[in-house]
Amino acid sequence: MVFTPKQSQGASAPSSFIETTGISLKPSYYHDILDRRPELGFFEIHAENYLSLGGPARYYLQKIREHYAFTIHGVGLSIGADVPLDPSHLQRIARLVDEVQPEVFSEHLAWSTHDNVFLNDLLPVAYNQATLNRVCEHIDQLQSTLKRQVLIENPSTYFEFHRSDRSEIDFIAEMAHRTGCGLLLDINNVEVSCFNHRSNPFDYINRFPSRAVGQIHLAGHSLDENTTIPLKIDSHDTPVSHEVWDLYQHALTTMGDRPTLIERDGHLPTLSVLLAEARQADHIRTNIRQESRHE
C-alpha cells in the first residue's frame, strides 16, 4: 500500500515545520518553553515517553502543542525484528498520533524487541531479501494503521553482517520504493556509520535516495578511542560536530532544503543553547533556498 504525504490542514501558509528547524522536547525545557514561547519550527518527541494516561508528560504535551507544530519519533516499534509488531503497542502509538496530529511520524531501520522483551537499543539488521520482506511488511502494517506515510531513519551501526548481500543504501532505496514510505536522513548516523565502516560519508549522501527524504536529523556523537578499532558512538549528548555540519551543507546543496531537527538526548544544555544550534541550521537553509531561487 502506498501513501502520499499528509497535507497540512486548512492553512495556506507553509507550516513552520517546513522552513524552520525544530529541537527535541525534553521535560527540563517544559517551563522555559511555556514562559518564553521561543520562535521555532517544531518540537519532536519520542512516542514511547508520551503514552501514559496522565502525569506531566501528557499535561505539558497538550500545553505546548497549543503553540507549536510537532513531529513524533518512535523508538520502540522494532520494525526490523523477526517477529510481528506488538499490536497493543502499535495501537497506543496510533492513539498518540491521532491526538497530536504530528507533521511526521518516523521510526528506525532497527530492532529492539525479541521474545516479549525490550532491549532499549536500536539493534542492526542484515541487509538481505529476508530482512527486506519483513521490514516492508512491518512498514505496510504501520502505515495502514496510522493511515499516513511514515519516515524511516537510516541507522547508526557498529559492525556489518556477513549475511548482508547488498549495501545499506540499496536496501533503503528498495524499502522506500516498495512501501512508499519516506526517509528520515540522520546525518549524524551517516557520519558515525561511515567512520565505523571506514567508508566515505559524502558518497553515502550522494547515493542516498534523496527524493524520499522528508526530514533530516542533526546530532552529536562521541568517540571510543580504543587502539584496535576506534569507533564513533551515536550518543546524542554533545553539540552537532563540524563534520556533521559539513555533511549537512553538502546534503542540502545536492538535494535542496529539508525540514530539520536538532536532536539531543543526553547532557542537555539550556534551551537557549539548543535554539542557537537550530538557528545555525536555519542560516544554512536560508542560504540554500536563496541560491536555488537564483538558479
Partner 1 sequence: MNKAFRDALFHQDMAFYEEIKGHSDEEKAIRFNVYRNNVYVSLIDALADIFPVSQTLVGDEFFRAMAREYLQENLPKTPIIGEYGATFADFIRAFEPSKSVPFLGDLADLEHKLLTLTHAQEYPTLEHEQISAAFNNTSDPTRLLLGLSPNTSVMSSCYAIGSLYLAHKQPRRQNVAQIQPYNSEYLLLSKRSIYGEVYIISEAEAVFIQRLMQNKTLEQAIPDDAMFDTGSSLAKLIQWKLITHVSEADA
- The binding site for partner 1 (CB under 8 A) comprises 48-49, 51-59, 75-78, 81-83, 86, 89, 111-121, 123-124, 126, 158-163, 196, 224, 226, 228-229, 231, 233
**For residues 10 and 54, which CB has a smaller minimum distance to partner 1 in the complex?**
54
How far is Cα 155 from Cα 158, in angstroms, rounded to an integer? 10
CB of 117 to partner 1, least distance (A): 4
What DSSP element (H or E) covers 223?
strand 222-224
CB of 126 to partner 1, least distance (A): 7
Set of cell numbers at residue 65: 502543542
**For residues 18 and 268, which CB has a smaller minimum distance to partner 1 in the complex?**
268
**For residues 82 and 98, which CB has a smaller minimum distance to partner 1 in the complex?**
82
CB of 49 to partner 1, least distance (A): 7
**For residues 123 and 169, which CB has a smaller minimum distance to partner 1 in the complex?**
123
**For residues 94 and 126, which CB has a smaller minimum distance to partner 1 in the complex?**
126
Residues 55, 68, 247, 211: is their CA dihedral positive or negative? positive
CB of 51 to partner 1, least distance (A): 6
Residue with cell 536538532: 262
CB of 192 to partner 1, least distance (A): 10
Q: Are 262 and 219 in contact (CB under 8 A)?
A: yes
The residues, any chain, with a CB within 8 Å of residue 118's CB and separated by 6 or more, are 76, 112
CB of 197 to partner 1, least distance (A): 9
What DSSP element (H or E) covers 186?
strand 182-186
How far is Cα 244 from Cα 224, in angstroms, rounded to an integer? 17
Residue 175: strand, helix, or coil: helix
Q: What is the DSSP letter of 29?
A: G
Backbone angles phi, psi at 89, to 5 degrees: -65, -40
How far is Cα 289 from Cα 21, in angstroms, rounded to an integer? 14
**For residues 74 and 209, which CB has a smaller minimum distance to partner 1 in the complex?**
74
Q: What is the DSSP letter of 163?
A: T
**For residues 52 and 270, which CB has a smaller minimum distance to partner 1 in the complex?**
52
Of 271, 262, 157, nearest to 215 by C-alpha is 262
CB of 77 to partner 1, least distance (A): 7
Residue with cell 497530536: 100
